[in-house]
Amino acid sequence: MSGNVSMLRPKGGNPATSPELTDELRTAVDARAAAARELLASAVAEFGGDGEVAFANSFGAEDMVLTELILRLGLPIEIFSLDTGRLPAETYDLMARVEKHYDTRLKVYFPDAAAVETYVRNEGINAFYESVDLRKRCCQIRKVEPLRRALAGKKAWITGLRASQSTTRTGLPSSEYDKDNGLQKLNPLAEWSESEIWAFIRINEVPYNALHDQFYPSIGCAPCTRAIAVGENVRAGRWWWEDPTLKECGLHVKG
């Protein structure tokens, strides 16, 4: 893909981020949250409470639910994030708010500067629009390699993945062995619906990315994220120029 890229920023509120908090929805969220807390506590009991379990926080709505659960429970789970160098300003704003809200300091990993410089020098600043291969190479440098450094020596890592997010995540289990990274991978929110995620956020007054209210349900690097239209899949705005049955950044490898 080449040429101009339009980043949609619609005006007006996004109804998806403010679901009606019915008694039925509140009850469902309570049950989901209890199960997630149990899975998180079990992970610490099984794998250790001295840095063996880590949570990869990308500051999406799902990850903010997990941040709330982990920090409010006081679980000894290391929370880290990947700063690709191309994140939206709103994501950096949220990172600062999280540190103040939870009185914590975030552990942030960055891509290798020399690798980024070489990629940009050889391929171009926005080369990821040109081909799937170049986009995946960019993700490899900015995301996958830093993730591997962050997970080195860990026994388990926690993600905010949900099964209903995309076709690439259908059938997502709550726990699976990650052969690519050599450790257990836990997905406490695998069965949560989008409404349940947002109900939890509203009920518990959890801070979240301002872009969600502008129809950005899934937020990654700024150049590779756009708003979605009503009725589109929640991850339709990620690498929107690619085949939706194949697009992933490489952090979550199957098989």
Residues annotated as part of the active site: 249
Neighbours of 96 (CB within 10 A): 10
Please name which of 229, 200, 204 lies closest in space to residue 217, comparing C-alpha atoms: 229
How much is the CA Rg of the chain, to the nearest whole Å?
A: 18
Beta bridge partners of 178: 183
If 0-12 CB within 10 Å is exposed, 13-18 middle and 19+ buried, where does residue 58 land? buried
Report residue 143 as tokens. 């995301």
Beta bridge partners of 186: 158, 175
Please name which of 240, 221, 234 lies closest in space to residue 167, comparing C-alpha atoms: 234
Beta bridge partners of 53: 156
Report residue 253 as tokens. 């490898």
Report residue 155 as tokens. 């026994």
* Cα dihedral 70→99→151→155 (10° resolution): -20
Neighbours of 53 (CB within 10 A): 26
The H or E element containing residue 30 is helix 23-47
